[in-house]
Every structure is written in C-alpha cells, then in structure tokens.
Structure 1
C-alpha cells in the first residue's frame, strides 16, 4: 500500500529527473488538445478537461501504484458524464464523481484491485467498442458543421436528426475536419517527437483564421474561456441526489478501476515493472474526489498518454507531476487563444480517439471463439450503444455469470461405473473379486448448484438398489450448499432402499464442508475411505454384517 513515488525517490538520480522532466512536458503537450476535446464531448466547458488532467493527474502520480501512469479525462467516461449532466447538472456530476472516488478508495483499502481481472474480456471489449461508436456519433454535428440546436442523446434519434439535416452540411467545416484527420495520420511519418494532435490544432486554427473560414469555434460555442487558477467549490447536494447518484458513481468507479489498472498492466509490460493495484485504486479515488472539487470531471489512467510518457523516457511518477504542472502553466498562458480552435478540428481528434479505442478486431473474431463469448460481447456492445452503459455492464455481468455456471455444470460429470473393468484397474491384484452388490459412482468437477440436479437424475436412473454404493469424489475440488443437499438426498434415497453409502478419496475442502454440515457424522467416519481398496473392504464388511444379521433373524424365527 506504499505509493510508487516514495519507493522511486530512494535511488532517484539527476539523469532520470531530466528524462522525467522532458517526458512530462511532452505528455502535457499531447494532453492539452485531448483534454479540451474530451471535456467538450462530455458536455462541459473546455477548461474542465484541463483541470481534470491537472488536479486528477497530480494525485494519480503522487499517490498511485504505477511508476508511469498518466491520469486525466478519457473517452471511457464521455457517455456516462454526458448522461449525468443532462439529468442532474454539474452539481450532480460532482457528487457522482466524489461517490466514485470514495468507492475507489474502499476498493483499494479492501484489496479488491485483483478482483478487476474477473470481469470477462468480452464485456470490457463490448462496452469499450460501444463507447467508441457513441463518441464517434457525437462528433458528426461538429465535423460536418450541421446547424442543429439540440441533438438527442439517444443513438437512433440522434442519427435520425443527422440524416434530416445533412442537406445543410458546411463544406468548410468538412474540409477543416478532413485536414485535421490527414495531419493526425500522416504527421507521425514525418516527426514522432511532436504530437500530431497538437500540429493538427495549430495548422488548422491558423489556416481557419488566415482564410477567414466560416466554421464554428470553441469561442463561438462557449464564449470566453477562463484562464484563472482552479477554485475550490463544494457541490450542493441532498439525500435524494446522493441516493440517485450512487449507481452512476459506482459505474464511474468500475470504469475508472478497469481502465486505470489495464493502463498500469500495459505500462508494466513496456518497462518491465510491477504496479501496485490496490494503492493505484486509492490514488485514483483521491484524484476523483479532488478533481470535481476544483471544477474537473472523472479521472482515470490514460493508456495512450501513459504509453507516450514511457516512450519519451519516463520511469517514475515525477513525470506525471511535471505533466500536471506544465498543463497548469499552459492553461494560465494559452487559454485566451483556445477560443480560436475550430470545433471541426476537435471533432476530428475525437473521431480518431474513438477509432483507436474501439476493439474492432473483436467483430472479426466472433466466429472463432465460443458462441457464449460472442453473445456477451454483442449484448454489451449493443446495450451500450442503444440503451445505457450501466445497463450494458449489469446485463453483461449477469449473462457472463450464468454462462460461466453453465460451462462449469457441463464440465462436471457424473459417471455410473457399470463395467467392473472401470474399477478393477485401480485394485491390487489380490482384490479383483468384486461383489456384484457393490455399485460405483464417480463425480468429476465442481459439485455446485449448477450441477446438483444432473447428479440426482443420474442416481435416479439406477433401477436395482445395490447393497452398498461407493461414491468416488477424488476430482471434486469444491462443493456448495446445493451440492451438499444433493448428497443428503442421495443418503436419504440409500437409507430408504437399505443401501449403505461410502465416500472415497474426498479432497480436504469438500470434506471440511461436509463435516461442518454434520454429514460425516450422519453416515459415519468409518465410511470415509482414503482409497478404493479400503472402500471395497468396508463395503464387503457391511454386506457380511447385513447378511449375518438377516441369517440371525431367520434363525430366531
């Protein structure tokens, strides 16, 4: 639970500081246009994106568990932030983000960082691709310069409005947008040091001013942009608002944890490091509490900016702190000029962001993997696009859980060993003579509620009741309450038919569960056998005792 910054400072050198310093400035230059564009796409003013990168990015680097993580606004939050603002306003967004920060801290404190890996890959790729489609769709108005007063938030109504207004396309805006995309694509082939998005913004903005193009700009849409220091502001809230925003807050926390830890894992692979997932969640939580208090939006680790940070020589959180300070200076000095940036250029940047964040390869691989994974992916994707991100995650997780249980139930096998040879191979040479009155069953796999019914059906198919039933549980790693209930039903069936039950080769974990339920005491400790030889000996002894008692009863008569 120690932040990486304090560990890295123990053997910090001047040479590494110079590398971190340079990387931090370069990443700040990359983050400047992205932060502005993501803020506008989220439905807030441009400076809020910069405040998010400044305040949130600072705390992510100061208290996080990754050496090179860069925090700030990302495309993953655009959909949910926009929705919260539309319904609850800026104060509602602040409350939801603070709630998310509290949840993230609790997740870190209770060491749930490793639990994120249990979210299935098809869900994360599904809703990530869905978010990419929504971001792309939200930029159509500005890219084509459409004169639309209010664009619906829902996907289908949004595109309906677009198609009705495509006759009013502003070709000058389209040219600006296309030029921006071309620069973003082609510039890295010329120079990889200077960020393509920054070059695109500068070239297109100056071209727009010189040619006096009739296109919408940040200034024409938002007016004067504040360049003052971020001010502390506590949101107005009440109990009803907090209750209504708990689920959106949890969604922000879940998204933030997934993206930040995924970014940290990618960073580990690039530098050969090892991030601390739990303190990373704590750092992200603190960042999401302070970011809205100073006017920002939700924060998470940004994979693209983190990768750029690494490629430019960063190896400690100092680069992230330098990135935040550099952005603060840029905001104070450059914000008066931001108002000249064309909206079509920002739309082009966000379209490229959407293109790169979408997991488009997953669509081509649908037929290669299990049909259940394809179903989960498509459900998460279409629910994100057509309904809601929260619903997509909830339904996706529930569907994934049910499909997982079905897979485990299918894996669990109940075998009725009718052929003596199935058992004789495991017996010593001197014990090949098996009584025909002994029946063998074997359970293979987890014995839980998804498989218990199948077990009962197999047992009921036996027509003749044997004198002894031996149940082999060597390959049963776990058993739950429903599995125990199924065993209890088997015991009751055996008792009703005067059949003795023996369990052999049971593992430690299920044995402990059965002891806690009192099942071992019920059938008797002597009927828990460590191997097949002991089980057969016990079975023969029980048969002899049964036959002896029957003979004695006949003699008495």
Structure 2
C-alpha cells in the first residue's frame, strides 16, 4: 500500500463524505423519516459493505431506491417528521438483510444480474421520477397542502436554483479547486451564506433542517430501535399484529430485491472502470449483514450508490480505504459536527437532489422509444436512428410508470412486471426459432429439430409428428442448438413415444446433449415410454486452457469426462494422456499454447476412434 494510494483514497473519502451527507438527509425526507435514521444507516451500511464487500471502490449508504420503497409504506407527516408506522421499518430492514444473506449463501445473486436491459433502464428512469417528485414536498404547506407563497417561495426557489447551478456548472470550470472540493459541499455552503447573510437580513426566511428535524445530542448516537429515550421512542405494539407482520414481510422482500438489484448494477459499473472482477455473492452477503445491524440500531438500511461510486472511480478510487473513510466521516459528522447540519436550508437539499435526478434519468431512452414507434420516413426526417424492438420500448415505458403510478406500486413491483413481460417476449420469439426438417429414406423417417425445446415449442412439436401416417421406424435428431428446458418438453416426448408404441411403432430420440439426458434421468419414472441416446461427446464448449490457472476445463461435457477419467487439474509443461477403455484424451499443456483460449480442437475419428486432442492454438491437428 503506497503513500500515494493512501493520500488519494483518504482525500476521495472525505470529498464523497460531504457529497453523501446532503443526499442522505434528502433521502430521509423522501422516505418520510427523520434525517438521523438515514445518516446512521449511511455510515453503518457504508463501512460494513466497503470493508467486507466483494467490490472495492464502491460507495454504499442510504439510497434513493431504499427511500422510494420505504416512502410507499410510511405516509408523510410533514417534512422532517416520522410518518405513521415507522416502527415497522426497522424489522423490515433486518428481514431484508437476512434475505440478502440467504440470497448470497444460495448463490442466487447471479440471477439478479440477468435482468434485461430495458428493465434496468426503466428502473433508473422510474427511480429518477420518484426522487424528483419527492423534492417538491418542501415547497408545499403541509397544513393546507397548497404551494407556499410570497417571499418564502421566492427565496426557496432562488436557493434551490443556486444550488443546482453550483452543482452542475462549477465542476466543469477549468479550475482545479472545483475538481477537488465536492460541488455539493460548495452548494450547501453557498446556500447557508445566502440564507443567513441575505434572506434573513431582508426580513424573510426559509426552512432549514433545524426547523423541520433538528439534530441533537440525543440523536447523535445509534441505539437499538426497541430502546426508548426522551428523544427517540417508537410504538412497538403494532409490530406483532397481523397487519404489522404482513407489512414487515412485504417491505423486507421489496427492500431486499431493490437493494440487491441496485448494488449489483453498481458493481458492474465499478468493474467497467477498474477492470477487476468482483464477487457478487460477497457483495450481497456484506450488504445483508450491514442491513441487519442497521435495522437493529434504528437505521433505514441501504445499498450501493451508483452515482457516488461513479464519482469515486472517475477520480481514481479503486480500493476499500476511500469508501471506508467516507463512512467514518459521516459518523464523525453525525456524532460530533451535528450542530452544523442544522443550518442547511431544505431548499438547497432539493436543488442538489434535482441535479442527481437529472443524471439518473437515462435521457437517451426518449429518442430511442420514439424511434421504436415512428414510421421509417418520419424517423429519417427527425434523424432518429436509435431504434430498438417495440417490445423493449414498451417495457421501458411500463417499468418507468409503475415505479410511481398507480398507487400501491413501487420500484420492486415495476421490476417484477418488466421481467415478466421480457420473459413472455423471449418465450414467444423463441418458439418462432424452433424448426423441424423432415426426411424419409429406406422406410426410416427422420425429424431434425433445431431450436430451444420448451413449453412454447412443445405443442408445435406434437402437431408435426403423426403416428398414424409415419413408418414403423422414426428418429428425432436433436441439433447442437437444441436442449430440453422444462417438463413440458419432456412430457411431449413421453406422450408422443406412448402414442407411437400404442400403434406398434418405434420412435427414438437421438443426439441429446448431456444436460438434456441428465434431466431425463432425474425424471426417469415420468419418462418410461421414451427411448433416447446421448450425443457423442463434444468439445466445442472448451473455453481455453491457461497454464498454471486451473488450466483444465471445469465444466461441460469435456470437463466432466476429464474428471471422470482422472485427468489431473493442475497444469504442467508436459502433455497429459489418459486412456480409459476406448477413450483417449490428450491435452497439450505447452506454455506457448496456453496464453490464449484454445481454438484448434478436433476429434481424431479417422486415425484413432474415440480420441480427443486439445492441441496448441497455432498448431495443427
């Protein structure tokens, strides 16, 4: 660990700390809870995830995604106050943490990364809209539910726009100081000066954090949520009611889903900067532990912050030290410098978050969606070339809308609906790629099938075969691109086999891949009528052999065979040959051929039947 690395990480950590504090306070208002609940979550989640997570360089804390979910369960009670039912939040966060641990242990986090791009884009757009609309609440009179008027409204707008201009414009000026000092900190300082040096000197005033939810010594330190103090007290009687338990479970599931999605999305963004692979399961595991502790200590929980993580990476942050310094800095501010936080104008927080919204929304999706629905002639006139399939555009729109509307929906529901639509679209399109080619020769009829074989193509397959008119001998040959995916396909095979047998005919399914035969073997008691053969072992799934790095393949048909026949897993500079019955596997491990994936793979059927040779990339067979 070099001195330069430590200095860079510490400075970045301090910088991001001052950027994260106003965001966390704004997210507290958005979630209809008091700011200390979000700030304590910010440093607890931030430190644990940064120190023990699977993605160095990633900033964690209280986020808009968490706040968006929490805000749908806690009704507003005026900016800076806890809404009704806030006591259910903490068990929900703990449940979300427990679910995250289970997701990590069962390695289910890999499925979260498989979310379609249209769903991700809709997620970002919907989150931006939810955050943006929540920034309008400080401009409302919570007693009359009308917009504020007069000089107060005018000064709030001035402070808000001033903060926005500073946030957006100062970093673009060619002065190093504006690249070192976070623009959000400059915006906050400018807003405080404007409020107390100008606004109050002309006989007016706008609301500050002190006015809506004052930081005090009583809220400076986190305590378990079930312990009551003079400053913090919750009605825990509703937790064990049927309604309370149902809300805890639902909210916990939503928080787990949204937190995992945003964290793994952020991990991919960070990986694109650092070019170093992360550990998704470890990321979710650390986040689960962090949320367990955060909920226990009365925090709102959190996950990775995609915006601040990007800022960290753009400025050279790649390690754990910087985000850890950020978390410790927030802790120090909350516990020691909390009186200073009370001077921040609420309108300045709204301005900062509106800039965050501007950069969160994926603006390129607007012309992309328009191009998907406009005719070609109009697209050419408007120079709209970013056309995507209409179903993808529809998914983006639906997910974006469902994040906020109608009432009762939220980001998690929107993601679920988007995934369901994409899945149905994939199933529909995959059915169209399923092809059957028929040939008949010497009393033998052969059906060559190509494409995914699952519930949408199973019915088409059944309709193409006719036991009444087919000859006595029928073969169904699976192509290399054909695999069994579900019980519907297996049931179709067994059903057609039984039908042929009832008419005294034989049907044989040939050239099934190893994954398909494993499915059939596991369901053997359900496939009593089906006769099938496995495809000869293929080696096209070999990804390459790298010297000294666990160089023999670890999966697929060749990998299974190598393990079965005892080929050692460690690399050596000599070729390895293993004989077993009629199978000979020869793997060449010369150093020169192990620098790149093996491309030259051949079954030497003519010279030695049953011999597989993995030969050097540049060498001949």
Q: TM-score range by the shorter chain?
A: 0.7 to 0.9
Match of 1:50 in 2: 39
Does 1:322 find its partner at 2:316? no
Of residues 83-92 and 287-296 in structure 1, the stretch that sits farther from structure 2 once superposed is 83-92
Match of 2:417 in 1: 395
TM-score of the superposed pair, with normalisation by structure 2: 0.73
Does 1:203 find its partner at 2:193? no
Higher helix share: 1
Q: Secondary structure at the match of 1:44?
A: coil
Q: Structure 1 unaligned segments of length 5 or more: list them.
A: 1-11, 152-160, 421-433, 532-557
Q: Structure 2 unaligned segments of length 5 or more: list them.
A: 76-82, 227-235, 373-386, 538-621
Match of 2:165 in 1: 182
Higher relative contact order (CA 8 A, sep 6+): 1
Of residues 225-234 and 101-110 in structure 1, the stretch that sits farther from structure 2 once superposed is 225-234
1:226–1:84: structure 2 CA closer, same or farther, 3 Å change rule? farther
Given that 1:227 and 1:331 are in contact with CA atoms closer than 8 Å, whether structure 2 keeps it comes out as no
Match of 2:112 in 1: 116
Match of 1:102 in 2: 98
Match of 1:60 in 2: 49
User: How far apart are the structure 1 equivalents of 2:169 and 2:483?
Assistant: 56
- TM-superposed CA distance for 1:98, in Å, is 0.7
Which one of 137, 143, 150 corresponds to residue 149 of structure 1? 143
User: How far apart are the structure 1 equivalents of 2:149 and 2:136?
Assistant: 10
TM-score of the superposed pair, with normalisation by structure 1: 0.81
Match of 2:298 in 1: 295
Given that 1:42 and 1:82 are in contact with CA atoms closer than 8 Å, whether structure 2 keeps it comes out as yes
Match of 2:362 in 1: 359
1:519–1:414: structure 2 CA closer, same or farther, 3 Å change rule? farther
Map 1:395-414 to 2 at 5 A: 395-414=417-436
Match of 1:430 in 2: none
1:264–1:360: structure 2 CA closer, same or farther, 3 Å change rule? same
Match of 1:448 in 2: 454
Q: Secondary structure at the match of 2:220?
A: coil
1:265-315 CA deviation, whole Å, 9 max, x = no partner?
222222222211111111111111122333321211112222333344433
Given that 2:113 and 2:264 are in contact with CA atoms closer than 8 Å, whether structure 1 keeps it comes out as no
User: How far apart are the structure 2 equivalents of 1:331 and 1:456?
Assistant: 67
1:315–1:348: structure 2 CA closer, same or farther, 3 Å change rule? same
Of residues 445-454 and 335-344 in structure 1, the stretch that sits farther from structure 2 once superposed is 335-344
Map 1:269-308 to 2 at 5 A: 269-308=272-311
Q: Secondary structure at the match of 1:304?
A: helix
Q: Indicate the RMSD between aligned Cα atoms, in angstroms.
A: 2.8
Which one of 509, 512, 522 corresponds to residue 515 of structure 2? 509
1:196-253 CA deviation, whole Å, 9 max, x = no partner?
1111111121111112143222222224545753232234332633343212111111
Does 1:474 find its partner at 2:474? no
Given that 2:99 and 2:253 are in contact with CA atoms closer than 8 Å, whether structure 1 keeps it comes out as yes
Given that 1:84 and 1:92 are in contact with CA atoms closer than 8 Å, whether structure 2 keeps it comes out as no
User: How far apart are the structure 2 equivalents of 1:359 and 1:529?
Assistant: 47
Which one of 370, 374, 386 corresponds to residue 405 of structure 2? 386
Which one of 388, 405, 414 corresponds to residue 369 of structure 1? 388
User: How far apart are the structure 1 equivalents of 2:490 and 2:187?
Assistant: 66
Does 1:138 find its partner at 2:160? no
Given that 1:85 and 1:92 are in contact with CA atoms closer than 8 Å, whether structure 2 keeps it comes out as no
1:239–1:529: structure 2 CA closer, same or farther, 3 Å change rule? same
Match of 2:208 in 1: 217
1:335–1:109: structure 2 CA closer, same or farther, 3 Å change rule? same
1:409-468 CA deviation, whole Å, 9 max, x = no partner?
222223334xx6xxxxxxxxxxxxx33x433322112221221111112225x8843333
Does 1:33 find its partner at 2:33? no
1:346-366 CA deviation, whole Å, 9 max, x = no partner?
111111111211223223223
Given that 1:16 and 1:315 are in contact with CA atoms closer than 8 Å, whether structure 2 keeps it comes out as no
User: How far apart are the structure 1 equivalents of 2:465 and 2:529?
Assistant: 20
Given that 1:408 and 1:446 are in contact with CA atoms closer than 8 Å, whether structure 2 keeps it comes out as yes
Map 1:509-528 to 2 at 5 A: 509-515=515-521, 516-517=523-524, 522=529
Which one of 232, 237, 240 corresponds to residue 238 of structure 1? 240
Match of 1:555 in 2: none
1:149-181 CA deviation, whole Å, 9 max, x = no partner?
376xxxxxxxxx66xx88998222212211111
Corresponding residue pairs, total: 489
Q: Secondary structure at the match of 1:465?
A: coil
- TM-superposed CA distance for 1:129, in Å, is 1.1
Given that 2:12 and 2:317 are in contact with CA atoms closer than 8 Å, whether structure 1 keeps it comes out as yes
1:202–1:444: structure 2 CA closer, same or farther, 3 Å change rule? same
1:528–1:281: structure 2 CA closer, same or farther, 3 Å change rule? closer
Does 1:229 find its partner at 2:220? yes
Q: Secondary structure at the match of 1:470?
A: strand
Does 1:129 find its partner at 2:125? yes
Given that 1:98 and 1:288 are in contact with CA atoms closer than 8 Å, whether structure 2 keeps it comes out as yes
Q: Secondary structure at the match of 2:91?
A: helix
Given that 2:215 and 2:341 are in contact with CA atoms closer than 8 Å, whether structure 1 keeps it comes out as no
1:375–1:44: structure 2 CA closer, same or farther, 3 Å change rule? same
1:410–1:216: structure 2 CA closer, same or farther, 3 Å change rule? same
Q: Secondary structure at the match of 1:234?
A: coil
Map 1:484-503 to 2 at 5 A: 484-503=490-509
